[in-house]
Amino acid sequence: MSDHDYTPKSKAGKWFNDRLPLLTLGAHLTDYPTPKNLNYWWTFGGILTFCLLTQIITGIVLAMHYVAHADLAFASVEHIMRDVNYGWLIRYIHSNGASMFFLAVYIHIFRSLFYGSYKSPREVIWIIGLLIYLLMMAAAFMGYVLPWGQMSFWGATVITNLFSAIPLVGESITTWLWGAYSVDNPTLNRFFSLHYLIPFLILGLVVLHIWALHVPGNNNPVGIDIKKPSKDTVPFHPYITIKDTFALLMFMIVFAGFVFFSPNVLGHSDNYIPANPLVTPAHIVPEWYLLPFYAILRSVPDKLGGVILMFGAIFILFVLPWLDTSKVRSAVFRPIYRQFYWIFVLDVLMLGYMGAMPAEGIYLVLARVGTIYYFAHFIIVMPVVGLLEKTDPIPMSISEPVLTGGADPALARKDNEKI
């Protein structure tokens, strides 16, 4: 932000800004030069900020009425749904908001994968983003436990038992997580406490995420470095703010569709049965956004192996910037990688589907194939394709698509629009 020479017009503003340069920060955010060719996939950063704030606000409200006790939690949720003024609305926004949050974050992540936004010099943005994603999963998991229905209870049992796979100390760690000898009231209480904490950690990381973004500036669909500010950029306000607002409103229409017309379609009906430590539901499935990882976990016949692979599936993303050997960022100019990218998308969708099916027969076979491909994509495809691929010519700038090679400039632009 030192790049910004800003002097407030009013005397009071100058007095304040000399002591705390909030107005300089505001001016920086307003004028922040943004590539003018960002497409709608780039609006999900703003949408995610909206999701986080929605979850925090509705969550604080719910915490005013919710009781974190094994005997009362289920009843207190029903109390919210039935008696609290607008309680049903606030709870349905919160529960569906979690799904919308993940929908947006997956689009955001896959956008980054397509356009190579994780590559130098944006590795730190990517890694902070992954930390946010990890915390989101933790928050979502613990939040799902709070209503204390059957899926809450058994989901908590299954996930906490993952840690028992750790050799030697596994059992002790699990008991320590529980605060009892099974998932019980102490578990519920601490999950509530942590569930309230994590969103604020995420908020802190979001600030760092944006800060790290504002150092090199946005990547863009063409993936080239741009001079800023220049003919290739527009000021963040009003150009990007209005575009983000438009995309956010479209997103909110979908969100409202779920909240008002099928608020329970993304959940599981078993979670309206109060937790019962004596009976396990026939099929335990996590919420949809965790299904691909669940499929990876179940595809390994070994307890420890499954846990390692599942966590490995997330942690491999942290080294992605160094596994990708290509010098070209955007998949728009990478004809081979582009094919593999869509195969990878398909693979993750298939894994998600297998996660929802019983782990037997053809489902298990497909889950295993999907798991192997998932890792192969990062360990084999990314480095090898990057080295061997002949990329398409890249334009010199966004405004003037002068290509490095002799190909038709219109081609690059056309490609751009299609994405």
Partner 1 sequence: MKRFNIKSLLFIITFLLASSAKLHSAGESTEPLKVDWSFKGVTGKFDRASLQRGFQVYKEVCSSCHSMQYLSYRNLGEPGGPEFSEQEVKAIAASVEITDGPDDQGEMFTRPGRPADKFKNPYPNVKASIAANGGAYPPDMSVLVKARPGGSNYIYSVLVGYEDPPAGVTLDDGVYYNKYMIGNKIKMSSPLSDDIVEYSDGTQATVDQMAKDVTTFLSWAAEPELEERHRTGVKVIIYLILLTTLVYLSMKKIWSRVDTEV
Partner 2 sequence: MSKEEKKVNRRDFLFTASYTIGAVGLGAVVWPLVHQMNPDKAQQALATTEVDVSQVEPGNSITVLWRGKPVFLKRRTQEEIAEARAVSMSDLPDPQKDEDRVKDGKDEWLVMLGVCTHLGCVPLKDKGDYNGWFCPCHGSHYDVSGRIRKGPAPTNMEVPKYEFVDNNTIKIG
Binding footprint of partner 2 on the chain (CB under 8 A): 57, 61, 64-65, 79, 82-87, 89-90
**Diameter of the chain measured on Cα atoms:** 74
State the binding partner of 85 from partner 2, partner 1, none, CB within 5 to 8 A by kind: partner 2
Answer yes or no: are the C-beta atoms of 399 and 383 closer than 8 Å. no
Give the tokens for residue 74. Answer: 């289920």
**What is the closest distance, in whole angstroms, from the C-beta atom of residue 390 to partner 1 in the complex?**
15
- Count the helix, strand and coil residues of the chain and give each as a percent rounded to the nearest 5: 70, 0, 30
322 touches partner 1 by CB under 8 A: no
249 makes contact with partner 1 (CB under 8 A): yes
Site for partner 1 in 262-301 (CB under 8 A): 263-264, 269-270, 272-274
Asked whether the bond before 229 is cis by omega within 30 degrees of 0, the reply is yes
Residue recorded with tokens 């017009």:
9
Q: Return the residues of window 224-243 that contact partner 1 according to CB under 8 A.
A: 234, 238-239, 242-243
Burial class (CB in 10 A: 0-12, 13-18, 19+), 131: middle
* Calpha distance 268→13 (Å, rounded): 53
The Cβ of residue 22 has, within 10 Å, a number of other Cβ atoms equal to 11
Q: Out of 53, 60, 207, 250, name the contact with partner 1 by CB under 8 A.
A: 250
Nearest in space to 199 (alpha carbons), one of 264, 121, 139, 144: 139
Encoded tokens for 51: 């999701």
Q: Is 350 in the site for partner 1 (CB under 8 A)?
A: yes
User: Binding marks (x or -) toward partner 1, 86..125, rule CB under 8 A?
Assistant: --xx--x---------------------------------
What does 88 interact with, of partner 1, partner 2, none (CB < 5 to 8 A by kind)?
partner 1
Q: Indicate which of partner 1, partner 2, none lies near residue 349 (CB less than 5 to 8 Å, by partner kind).
A: partner 1
Report the SS3 class of residue 395.
strand
Q: Which of 338, 351, 386, 394 binds partner 1 (CB under 8 A)?
A: 338
Q: Which does 78 bind (CB under 5 to 8 A by kind): partner 1, partner 2, none?
A: partner 1
Phi, psi (rounded to 5 degrees) for 398: -70, -45
- Residue 36 touches partner 1, criterion: CB under 8 A: yes
Verify binding: residue 22, partner 1, rule CB under 8 A.
no
Using CB under 8 A, pick the residue from 31, 78, 123, 184 that binds partner 1.
78
Q: Which value, to the nearest 10 degrees, does the dihedral of the CA atoms of residues 332, 337, 343, 344 take?
A: -100
308 makes contact with partner 1 (CB under 8 A): no
To partner 2, the closest distance from the beta carbon of 36 in angstroms equals 20
The DSSP symbol for 14 reads: H
Residue 205 near partner 1 by CB under 8 A: no
Please list the alpha-helical segments (H only) found in 20-72: 22-31, 44-63
Q: Choose between 178 and 341: whose C-beta lies nearer to partner 1.
A: 341
Written in H, E and C, the secondary structure of 167-199 is CCCHHHHHHHHHCCCCCCHHHHHHHHHHHHHHH
List of residues contacting partner 1 (CB under 8 A): 36-37, 75, 78-79, 81-82, 88-89, 92, 234, 238-239, 242-243, 245-246, 249-250, 252-253, 256-257, 259-261, 263-264, 269-270, 272-274, 338-339, 342-343, 345-346, 349-350, 353, 356-357, 399, 417
